[in-house]
Amino acid sequence: MTVFHNSVLLKESVNALHVSPDGIYVDVTFGGGGHSKLILDKIQNGKVVAFDQDKETLKNTINNDKRFIMINKNFRFLKEELALLGVFEIDGLIADLGVSAYHFTNNNRGFSLKYDSVLDMRMDTSSKKDGLFVVNKYDQKNLARIFKQYADFNNPNFIVDAIVSARSRKIIKTTFDLKSTLKHYVSYKNQNQFFARIFQAIRIEVNDEICALKELLKQALDILNPKGRLVVISYHSTEDKLVKSFMKFGNFLNTPNQDFFGNITKPFKQITKKPIVPSLDEVNSNNKARSAKMRVCEKI
């Protein structure tokens, strides 16, 4: 078995689903299986369908339980894959958008700051775009875009200029090559936080995480039954803003939809007015939890 991570807000998130014994639930970020296993404990004749695009998660799949189905695909294919199973309506969906500890401790996938490995960063190792391509082939405009949008650098030009200058002399091939290129632009004590943001931006771009999240949320709205719950745990501001807007308005514009007569229409009832965050004890025992925010809504 591959060890992924201790699920953040595990009990809180599954409790928020209001699991029915005969319901159909989807865990779109299976990872180590924590959410799926806890949901299975709460159902009788229901079903749990889990998604994860990383083939390593297949080592953790739940065997000998006819109530469980594992799909090795990105969650952006939610409706398509469920339709193949004859599932067109569900009673709840849970998404934990965090990167598994497995990816940070695996020394050959390019996710970790600690190991010198090729700049890969693909969750789905069969996809074509990797970190090597983003860092060495993206033009200045697109590099600036990802570091501004996904790493919250208001003025990322110094990062972009350093990368473009370095790669003109030699390909930036590994994680340590990238760190060496940029380490002079940040004090030693702030390097971990700085590079965590750099790596996060590249990873999000490589895996098209923001577009995939938007597709997931729109599809979830389509297939959730009335009173079906949507539970999402996010870890950075870009994700959380999208989730917040969608749960409040059913769109990503952060403005209400109106019908023909000008009446405001909302597809969801807000279960959490403000995001639920982990307890101090959980953060102390699991550092990954420190930036987690959980939002919950119910389809009207």
Instruction: Tell me the CA end-to-end span of the chain in Å, nearest whole number.
Output: 40
Query: Are 293 and 275 within 8 A, CB to CB?
Result: yes
Q: How confident is the model at residue 256 (pLDDT cuts 50, 70, 90)?
A: very high
Query: Are 246 and 252 within 8 A, CB to CB?
Result: yes
Q: Which of 154, 177, 206 is the last residue of a domain?
A: 206
Query: Are 299 and 217 within 8 A, CB to CB?
Result: no
Q: How many domains does the chain have?
A: 2
Q: Is residue 115 part of a domain?
A: no
Q: Which amino acid is at 300?
A: I
Q: Is 5 in a helix, a strand, or coil?
A: coil
What CATH number is attached to the domain comprising 14? Answer: 3.40.50.150
Helices and strands (H and E) in the chain: how many: 12, 9
Per-residue pLDDT tens for 141-177? Answer: 999 999 999 999 999 999 999 999 999 999 999 999 9
Q: Is residue 177 part of a domain?
A: yes
According to the model, what pLDDT value does residue 4 have? Answer: 53
Structural domain range at position 236? 10-101+209-299
Q: How confident is the model at residue 57 (pLDDT cuts 50, 70, 90)?
A: confident
In the predicted structure, residue 107 carries a pLDDT above the cut 90: no
Query: Are 255 and 249 within 8 A, CB to CB?
Result: yes
According to the model, what pLDDT value does residue 1 have? Answer: 46
Say what the pTM is.
0.93
Annotate 249-268 with b (16+ C-beta within 10 A) or e (fewer): bbbbeeeeeeeeeeeeeebb
In the predicted structure, residue 298 carries a pLDDT above the cut 70: yes
According to the model, what pLDDT value does residue 218 have? Answer: 99
What CATH number is attached to the domain comprising 193? Answer: 1.10.150.170
Q: How confident is the model at residue 103 (pLDDT cuts 50, 70, 90)?
A: low
Residues 266 and 99: their CA atoms lie apart, in Å, by 31
Q: Which of 180, 206, 232 is the last residue of a domain?
A: 206
CA angle, residues 276, 19, 12, in degrees to nearest 5: 20
Q: Is residue 3 part of a domain?
A: no
Q: Is residue 158 part of a domain?
A: yes
Shared domain for 218 and 287, answered yes or no, is yes
- Percent of the chain past pLDDT 90, that is, above it, reads 87
According to the model, what pLDDT value does residue 164 have? Answer: 99
Q: Is residue 122 part of a domain?
A: no
